[in-house]
Structure 1
Amino acid sequence: MARAENKETAGPATRLVANVAKNLRIRQGLTQEQLGSELGYSGAAVSAMETFAQPASDDMLVQLERVLGSGTGIFEQAREYVRLDKYPAQFKDYVLLEQKAVGLSLYATLVVHGLFQTEAYARALIGGGYPPLPEPRVEELVEARLARRVLFNREPVALIELIVEESVLRRGIGNPEVMRAQLLHLAECARRRNVTLQVLLMDCGFGGEYAGGHGGLNLVETPTHEHLTYLESQEESLLIADPAKVSTYMQRYAKIRAQALDPRESLGLIERLAGELR
């Protein structure tokens, strides 16, 4: 069932890579088993790639370039586009903006923001969702999510702000070891010079003000310094470009930031919570 769905929904980059790889394999007189052996994969994995049942993984594309690419760089260049094919349809437009952004201001209310997730946390979250996903699809989504982290080391540097609800840090995902590693990863991210991380305490509304009640929020500054807002809920998404609406979201984000702990206090809390999971 899962493989039939993949065949029907395979994106254009996935189809192009499969067709090119198949044609080059046949031209070189290789069977699927022989090519798989050269790549370090099974013949069944090559068959799944060629029939769109399972898109090529990032590692398989690297190996295809080595074995079939002949220095053309075709499979290397395809990596970014195949990765995009793996994202959910409602997310593809945003991820392109995210990877090119000069600035991101993020507010996470339910789980750790995808850009900051560890592999184990992402796998537990995606694999434990509903409706259940086939294991190959879980792995696709985990790989695609982790690939977004190249933004942290991109040149020119992107400035990233994350405000995370305290409840997110206390919500158990996977198991205590997964959560501890996730908290330590957040602490490591918080020490980056291009990252500002703050925690909004669960009792911040006791003073009569709580600006975060409308849910998660993603603000994007593009390379041309256009400001956009991206909202996502229940696997539906909305990208907003209207300047007046975006301004309102920016003001709301500024208020949320003002109500959160400062970065040093936030880092201390994250490290303390990680220590409690030893």
Structure 2
Amino acid sequence: MGQSKKKSSSPAAQYFAEVLHILRTVRELSQNDLGELMAYSGAAVSAVETGAKPATDEFIDAAEKALSAWGLIAAAKKYLRLERYPEYFQGFVQLEQEALSVSSYGTQLIHGLLQTEAYARALFRCDFPPLDEAEIEELTQARLERKALFDRKPVCVINVILEEEALRRQIGGTDVMRSQYKHLLDCSERPNVILQVMPSKVGAHAGLRGPMTVIETPEQTSLVYTEALGKSLLVSNPVEVGVLSRRYAMISRQALRQEESVALIEQLAGEL
């Protein structure tokens, strides 16, 4: 999910740059002075203040500490993280990270929550129009940050159903896929993760209309998210959500059980 390009200098990034500049000026520090306190170069501080480069989490933490900013700088982290994603995906990321449960059915690729860094980076490298190295790195890191959901308290239940063809698609080559299969197997051992595979031999089944994700919110209501070609749709109508949730339940019943799914992934890993 989420591979399109996005604007280089977002409103949140511009606001952060201005706050950083104001606080630095109040402290009567040059860019070189602040850089020295942060263990960064003055050029790096300048790049963030001018919007030439986005502020990383490490940069934000260092600036907060160096400027003793009462949390004003650190507070920007979650908003800047959000804007690393394409615009159409940002709303979903917020829902995902707060969800009580995430139930996803995917058809083309391994789900973003389950991707290794190498798999995600290889995926972004084949995007079109092509992404530059800075965009690839930013999107890869944003995808990895979503994995915080696995260890969040309260626990989130994550149920992922993958089409067998998504597992067989060779993204990044043999070494990347071997590592990806191992990661999937490791994830399947987590008590809050249910991993299923829809085998190709099933033929016609309830999921042929396309991928979707069912989100259970902290208010214990359900929403359904789907996307295609850089466009997204969030379904909140209770009747429609009910239909789609039942469809997901049927897909789950038609897919392999977790034990059988794990065996299939082990088989695929052995074929490399």
Into which bin does the TM-score normalised by the smaller protein fall?
over 0.9
Q: Which amino acid aligns with 2:222?
A: H
Match of 2:3? none
Q: What is the 5 A alignment of 1:52-91?
A: 52-68=51-67, 70=68, 72-91=70-89
- 1:5 deviates by 4.8
5 Å-filtered alignment, 1:132-211, equals: 132-205=130-203, 209-211=204-206
Q: Paired residue for 1:229?
A: 224
TM-score, normalization by structure 2: 0.92
Structure 2 unmatched ranges of 5 or more: 1-5
Percent of aligned pairs with the same residue? Answer: 46
Task: Kindly report which structure 2 residues correspond to 1:1-278, keeping only aligned pairs within 5 A, or say none.
Answer: 5-7=7-9, 10-12=10-12, 14-68=13-67, 70=68, 72-205=70-203, 209-277=204-272
Once the 2 structures are TM-superposed, how far is the Cα of residue 229 of structure 1 from its aligned partner? 0.5
Q: CA deviation at 1:71?
A: 6.1
Contact 1:11 1:85 in 2 (8 A): no
Cα distance in 1 for residues equivalent to 2:124 and 2:36: 31
Task: Render the CA deviation track for 1:91-134: whole Å, top value 9, x for unaligned.
Answer: 11111111111011101111111111111111111122101112
Distance in 2 (alpha carbons) for counterparts of 1:180 and 1:34: 47
Q: Which runs of 5+ in 1 are unaligned?
A: none
Distance 2:43 2:199 in 1: 50
**Residues 53, 190 of structure 1: alpha-carbon distance in 2 compared, 3 angstrom cutoff:** same
Structure 1 residues 132 and 37, CA, compared in 2 at 3 Å: closer, same or farther? farther
Segments of 4+ moved more than 6 angstroms: none
Letter in 2 for 1:108: G
Q: TM-score, normalised by structure 1?
A: 0.90
Look up the SS of the partner of 1:212 in the other structure: coil
Q: Hey, what's the Cα distance between the residues in 2 that align with 1:62 and 1:127? A: 29
Secondary structure at the counterpart of residue 144 of structure 2: helix
Q: How many residue pairs were aligned?
A: 267
Instruction: Give the alignment's Cα RMSD to 1 decimal.
Output: 1.7
> What is the one-letter code of the residue matched to 1:45?
A
Letter in structure 2 aligned against 1:86? R
Mapped to 1, the partners of 2:265 and 2:151 lie a distance apart of: 23
- Between 17-26 and 241-250, the greater mean CA deviation after superposition: 17-26
Structure 2: distance between partners of 1:116 and 1:36: 36
